[in-house]
Each structure stands twice: as C-alpha cells, then as structure tokens.
Amino acid sequence: MPSPQLAVIGGGQLARMMQQAAIGLGIHIRLLAEAPDVSAAQVIPDHLVGDHTDLDTLRSVVADVPVVTFDHEHVPPEHLRTLEAEGHACRPGPHALLYAQDKGDMRARLGSLGVPCPRHAAISSPEDLDTFGYPAVLKTTRGGYDGKGVWVVRSAADADEAFATGRALLAEELVDFRRELSALVARSPSGEVRAYPVVESRQAGGVCAEVVAPAPDLDPRLDAEARAIAERIASELDVTGILAVELFETADGRLLVNELAMRPHNTGHWSIDGADTSQFENHLRAVLDLPLGSTAARAPWTVMVNILGGAVEDLQAQRAVVLADAPGVKVHLYGKPVKSGRKVGHVTAYGHDLDDVLARARHAAALFTDGVSP
Ligand code: ADP
C-alpha cells in the first residue's frame, strides 16, 4: 500500500468527496474520523477514530504524513502550531484558519485590507447594541454554522437568546441584499491561484438550499470584483486549498463580504459535475502543491440542490425512483442517517436552458426529500 500523503481531519461529507477526487489522482488519504461510521470513514479505509481537539490523537494520525488538511475549521489553532513545529505542513495553516474560525477577527482583518464588509461592531452588552442601532444581525463570533448562532434583532429584547449563550458577539447592519453570491478560489503554497465562476446561493432557514452556476445576470463588473476580492483575500491571508468567500449583492449593486470558509464549500459542490476540475480535486492539488486544474464550467448552466432530511427515511430505497425519474441528474449521497433538515446529499443538473436545469435538479432533490415533487 502506498504511504499516506495527506491527512484529513474530520470525517464529514467534505472529506468523503475529497476521497472521490483522491482516488483518481492516486492519492492515499489518512483520515481522523469522529466515529467509525461517519460519512468519510465509510469510504477511506485508512482511518483512525478520535477527538480532533486532543493533541496526542492528532499526532498519531499525522505521524507519517507530511501534509494535513481539514473537513472543518474546529481544530484548535495551538494544536496546529504544534504539528507545524513538529514538521507537518498544515494547509491552510493556523495563521489563515483563524479568520475562518472567528468572525470578529475576520471582520477586523478584512477591514484593514479595505475589503468591503457590512458595518459591524463587537457587542458585550444590551447598551452596546442600542448604541449600534437596529435592525441588526447578531452573531456569535465562533462556532456558528448553517444560521445557528445568527439572530436578526430589532430591539434589545430580541437579543436575550444571543446574550444567553455567554459567547462573544458581533453586530452587523442588516444588509438589504438582492441575493447571496459565492466566490471560490483554489490557492497553492507556491502561490498559484484559480478562481471558479461566481455562483448564486439561495438559502432557506439559514441553510444553503440551492446553487446556480454561474450567478444569473451578474453584472460583469461585480463578477470581476467578486473574483478579485476572493483572490486578494486568499493571497493576503496566505490561504492554501479552497477559500470560499460568501458575499451579499446589495439592492444598490455593491458587494459586501459575509463570511469566509477555508475548505471545500457547499456552494462549490456544483463543480464535481459542472467544472473541468472539481473543488475537491483542486483542494487536493492545492494542499499538495500540485499544478491546479481548470476551473471553467463545462455547461452554460449547472444547478446543485441539497437533499435535506425530510419525509423519506430510506434514501437507498428511494434512489431507484430518482434514477428512473431524473435520468440526467447526478446523485451524491453522503451515507448519513436522515434527520430533519440535515444535509444528507445533493443532486446536480446541467445544460443549456436554466429553467429546465433548475426544474430537473429541484425535482430530483424533492423526490429524495419528500418522496414527491412539488
Ligand atoms: P453561518 O456561519 O451560520 O453560515 P452567516 O454569517 O453566513 O452564518 O449567516 C447566515 C445567513 O444569515 C446568511 O447566509 C444570510 O442569509 C444571513 N445574514 C448573515 N449576516 C447578515 C447581514 N449582516 N445582513 C443580512 N443577512 C445576513
């Protein structure tokens, strides 16, 4: 068996889809999984089960592996600095990951770079919030995901739940946005950068529901600006691997950065079937400092729709129904137990007619989620 070239910390669907790309490139991945049956542990034979916050566990996973990357952003930075001191390359490194882990630090850093962001302030009391003004969006600076840890507040009374968390909070202006965009880039340690087409991401209940690539009717000026912002952040923060920059396109035609992710991102899943090189393959190429692949779209339109846990409990049984009824749609199931609202897979459709592509992808996802199509 070839020796492992890459350790991946975290056994979710992102690591699972990294393995899909690793197979083609002949890359041997060693995985640290949270439990023996998690999504990526099902498909990566060389895995250990343990806690990613425990330094000795991390050491045993990476022992004979030169490069380390991540399925999530939750490994304590001090552990990553220790692994680096012991000779392992962490990609992205802790100096970059900080800005994906802490929204307060991210806002401060982007502000110093002159990158456009919503107006914001650190909040430690209801009085601070009154001073900031309403309406506002309150966020825990750490640990939020899929809209958890985010509250729209119109008065101090709306903020009780946020203050009850006892966590550091950040207030932002409530942005009047037309839509949400996402700009993904891959960047390698030698500095090669490639930007994916800018996409539109549509959320439902704080969770990404669907992604359209490229973002329909995007002003070429904003398209170029979004890519330039993502490339600049990747270079200035020294990000290696995939960087996803979530953006608001405001009602008056400006871009504001919402947040950063330093790993393959839900808004890049379309690229598996829709781009010359998927975000997972380019993430592997980038962190291993291999030449990056073309990020060009293969079809005029690609739509990705998430499969969220719903009425259908047995996705395996439902698969045959979907494949028969939506033959051109690509199916990606994550091997996760169905729980209400949880991301358990996604589907992708592509073609020349956006309405047709959207309808086919939504139809297939609805069959997986609800068993019927609307
Ligand atoms: P998470 O870390 O949970 O993904 P985000 O900061 O991305 O949190 O916020 C989740 C969603 O809340 C965003 O996708 C957006 O729809 C909405 N949101 C976040 N910040 C703002 C803001 N300043 N103004 C308006 N809506 C916002």
| Domain assignment of residue 189, yes or no | yes
Residue 233's pLDDT is: 98
157 lies in the same domain as 187 = no
The alpha carbon torsion through 39, 45, 46, 50 (nearest 10 deg) reads 40
**Considering the domain boundaries, does residue 113 fall inside one?**
no
Looking up residue 263, the CATH number of its domain turns out to be: 3.30.470.20
Residue 374: its pLDDT value, please? 67
**266 token code pair:** 């839900």
Contacts of 14 (CB under 8 A, 6+ apart): 40, 71, 72, 263, 264, 280
Specify the ligand 1 atom closest to the Cα of 176.
25
Q: Distance of CA 10 to CAs 34, 68, 241, Å?
A: 7, 11, 16
| Pairing mode of beta strands 6-9, 29-33 | parallel
Ligand 1 binding pocket includes 137 (Cβ within 6 Å): yes
- Asked if 152 and 213 sit in the same domain, the reply is no
Residue 107 lies in a domain: no
Mutate to test the pocket of ligand 1, among 107, 110, 150 (most ligand atoms within 8 A of CB): 150
CA of 246 to the centre of ligand 1 (A): 9
207 lines ligand 1 (CB under 6 A): no
Residue 344 lies in a domain: yes
Say yes or no: 334 and 235 in one domain. Answer: yes
Within this chain, do residues 163 and 183 fall inside the same structural domain, yes or no? Answer: no
Report the DSSP beta bridge partners of residue 349.
303
What is the position in ligand 1's atom list of the atom closest to the CA of 118? 23
Domain annotation covers residue 95: no
Q: Does 175 contact ligand 1 (Cβ within 6 A)?
A: yes
Tell whether 234 and 311 lie within a shared domain.
yes
Q: Is residue 287 domain-shared with residue 353, that is, in the same domain?
A: yes
Contact 134, 153 (CB under 8 A): yes
CATH number of the domain residue 166 falls in? 3.30.1490.20
Domain end marker among 173, 190, 205: 173
| Domain final position from 148, 173, 198 | 173
Ligand 1 pocket test, candidate residues 73, 99, 137, most atoms within 8 A of CB: 137
Pair 182, 220 in one domain: yes
Q: Is residue 57 part of a domain?
A: yes
State the sign of the Cα–Cα–Cα–Cα dihedral 338, 342, 348, 354: positive
* Nearest residue (CA) to ligand 1, atom 8: 147
174 lines ligand 1 (CB under 6 A): yes
What single letter denotes the amino acid at residue 169? L
For the CA of 146, the closest atom of ligand 1 is 3
Query: Most distant CA pair in the chain: distance in Å?
Result: 62
**Cα 258 to averaged position of ligand 1 atoms, centre (Å):** 7
Question: How many angstroms does the Cα of residue 261 sit away from the middle of ligand 1?
Answer: 13
- Contact by Cβ (8 Å): 225, 257: no
How many other C-beta atoms are found inside a 10 Å radius of the C-beta of residue 338?
18
CA–CA separation, 340 and 173 (whole Å): 31
Is residue 343 located within the same domain as residue 235? yes
Strand order in the sheet with 150-153: 120-123, 169-173, 136-140, 150-153
* 139 ligand 1 Cβ < 6 A: yes
Tokens standing for residue 288: 């291993």
**One domain, residues 182 and 164:** no
Which residue range(s) make up the domain with 32? 6-90
- Within-domain flag for 102: no
- 3-class DSSP assignment, residue 357: helix
Question: 145 CB less than 6 Å from ligand 1?
Answer: yes
* Cβ(259) – ligand 1 distance below 6 Å: yes
Residues 353 and 206 in one domain: yes
Residue that is written with structure tokens 């330093």 in the block: 262
Residues shown for the chain: 374
Per-residue DSSP letter, 148: B
195 in Cβ contact with 185 (< 8 Å)? yes
- Which of the listed residues 138, 258, 259, 262 should we mutate to test ligand 1's pocket, taking the one with most ligand atoms within 8 A of CB? 258
DSSP per residue, 301-329? EEEEEEEE--S---HHHHHHHHHHH-TT-
Give the integer Cα–Cα distance in Å for 238 and 60: 27
Q: To the nearest 10°, the Cα dihedral for 196, 202, 208, 210?
A: -70
Q: What is the CATH number of the domain that holds 72?
A: 3.40.50.20
Distances, alpha carbon 356 to alpha carbons 179, 306, 329, in Å: 21, 17, 12
pTM summary value: 0.96
- Ligand 1 closest atom vs CA 147: 3
pLDDT in tens, the chain (374 residues): 778 999 999 999 999 999 999 999 999 999 999 999 999 999 999 999 999 999 999 999 999 999 999 999 999 999 999 999 999 999 999 999 999 999 999 999 999 999 999 999 999 999 999 999 999 999 999 988 777 899 999 998 999 999 999 999 999 999 999 999 999 999 999 999 999 999 999 999 889 999 999 999 999 999 999 999 999 999 999 999 999 999 999 999 999 999 999 999 999 999 999 999 999 999 999 999 999 999 999 999 999 999 999 999 999 999 999 999 999 999 999 999 999 999 999 999 999 999 999 999 999 999 999 998 76
Is the CB of 209 within 6 Å of ligand 1?
no
Helix axes 279-287, 13-25, angle to 10 degrees: 70
Inside any domain, residue 99: no
| Shared-domain flag, residues 169 and 186 | no
Count of domains for the chain? 3
Give the residue ranges of DSSP H helices in 133-254. 160-164, 220-236
For residue 16, list its beta bridge partners.
none
Specify whether 166 is located in the same domain as 206: no
Q: How far is the CA of 217 from the centre of ligand 1 (A)?
A: 23
